[in-house]
Amino acid sequence: MDRIRIVGGNSLNGVIPISGAKNAALPLMIASLLTDDTLTLENVPHLADVEQLIRILGNHGVDYSVNGRRQAQDSAYSRTIHFTARNIVDTTAPYELVSKMRASFWVIGPLIARMGKARVSLPGGCAIGTRPVDLFIDGLKALGVEIEIDGGYVNASAPNGIQAGRYEFPKVSVGATHVLLMAASLARGTVEIHNAACEPEVANLADCLNAMGARISGAGTPTIIIEGVDALSGARHRVLPDRIETGTYAMAVAMAGGDVVLEDTNASLLENALDTLRQAGTEVIPTNSGIHVRRNGAGLEAVDVMTDPFPGFPTDLQAQFMALMTRAKGTSQITETIFENRFMHVQELARLGADISLSGQTATVRGVDALNGAQVMATDLRASVSLVIAGLAAEGETIVNRVYHLDRGFERLEEKLTRCGATVERLSS
């Protein structure tokens, strides 16, 4: 099993290209099930989760092809992939595939909309909470879908198609919003979704569906209106920049010090997180093509944070920010409101010398003068990169084990950091 070795103490200086967003690419790929034409997606990141979803879509009969990069291009750039679901050969998403990645459960929406039925295994994914599928099921039922859960599978049918309806989420859910958007695109009538997720990835999916012929308005706000159409066509669409990768590298610069331009990204995607970094003493300047991040070595300031749905502070940046606060002057409090088990990185940061105590869903972080390298273990995707960030500032050598979590969500992480002066290398088993 691969590991990552980090020798701390080097500042980061240079340019880091930001890849396409995993959290946008996955629902866009699944949307290819809605049409028998080709859906072409640009800026798709090369990640383990993307490759896994390609296998899952292939199980349903989706063909794909990848445009190769020219040799002169930056090797960190993402890909263009063409998806064609001309014939759906299987409406079952089996346990052995779905259990490996939670987002693959989302195929239930387009399969029901296009084929009138779906049999999808209950999902797996990162160990950061139970994340039940109740909202998905209740939302689909509101659109006339008949659902039965049996033997660990969700059996869904809509012999008369997706019906017009109204659904209000009792709690904001990005994944369930994605599923209802896709299903409702082929509804017989108008569908209203209230208390919908406002994340940029939702708006990106709606833009793609509209390019395919859907009639969606209000995506990116709490109220989305979908006027169902009879069929969708192919389209060409670009995956938006990864705001979580953007914030992660911005926090890495804040942790290690230095001067880095984050290219091919947009500050509007994570304004709350960037404002928090400014409060912590980091210079953050939006540019025409990205974001300029700089910290001159002055001490970091402690800042309190509470995670919230967009436009609040992202839960997917909570672990990274906690790593940063371990070196801040004073005490910060970090409260997690989205997932109940998302503090598994605390004990690993403590191995590096961090002073963190937990009380319910709040972590109290007392800044320390120095961190010291150690062997640590990744527990989930975002926790794993928080250990990399801590290792950049730790004295000596840090070894991060179980980095397959990193490969699920960060494209060429060690290459991007190394180009900016960090000592980071992958150790293959």
Query: Coil, helix or strand for 358?
Result: strand
Question: Does the annotation place 402 within a ligand binding site?
Answer: no
116 contact partners, CB below 8 Å, separation of at least 6 = 157, 158, 159, 161
What's the number of domains the chain is made of? 2
Question: Does the annotation place 382 within a ligand binding site?
Answer: no
Tokens of 78: 């993402």
- Of 170, 202, 230, which one is at a domain's C-terminal end? 230
Distances (CA, A) of 67 to 58, 82, 268, 411: 18, 8, 29, 17
Judge whether 187 lies within some domain: yes
pTM recorded for the entire structure: 0.94
Q: What is the pLDDT of residue 76?
A: 45
Q: What is the pLDDT of residue 99?
A: 85
CATH number of domain containing 409: 3.65.10.10
| Low-confidence stretches of the chain (pLDDT beneath 50) | 68-76, 125-130
Q: What is the pLDDT of residue 124?
A: 56
Task: Identify the active-site residue in 126, 198, 208, 420.
Answer: 126
Question: Does the annotation place 385 within a ligand binding site?
Answer: no
Is residue 253 located within the same domain as residue 200?
Answer: no
How wide is the angle at C-alpha 274 spanned by C-alphas 283 and 355, nearest 5°? 90
Judge whether 82 lies within some domain: yes
Tokens of 34: 């809605």
Tokens of 229: 């159409």
- Cα distance between residue 194 and residue 175, in whole Å: 14
What percent of the residues of the chain are helix, what percent strand, and what percent coil, each to the nearest 5? 35, 30, 35
Question: Does the annotation place 37 within a ligand binding site?
Answer: no
Residue 208: active-site member: no
Tokens of 17: 């290209």
Is residue 322 located within the same domain as residue 191?
Answer: no
Is residue 407 located within the same domain as residue 259?
Answer: yes
Distances (CA, A) of 165 to 145, 205, 219, 270, 343: 11, 20, 17, 32, 38
Query: Coil, helix or strand for 82?
Result: strand
Domain that holds residue 264: 3-18+241-427
CA 352 to chain CA centroid, Å, is 26
342 contact partners, CB below 8 Å, separation of at least 6 = 128, 129, 315, 318, 319, 336, 380, 382
Q: What is the pLDDT of residue 129?
A: 43
Q: Answer yes or no: are the C-beta atoms of 428 and 37 closer than 8 Å.
A: no
Question: Does the annotation place 141 within a ligand binding site?
Answer: no
Judge whether 409 lies within some domain: yes
Question: Does the annotation place 16 within a ligand binding site?
Answer: no
41 contact partners, CB below 8 Å, separation of at least 6 = 25, 28, 29, 80, 81, 82, 83, 237, 238, 239
Query: Coil, helix or strand for 368?
Result: coil
Q: What is the pLDDT of residue 429?
A: 74
- Of 178, 196, 230, which one is at a domain's C-terminal end? 230
Is residue 379 located within the same domain as residue 305?
Answer: yes
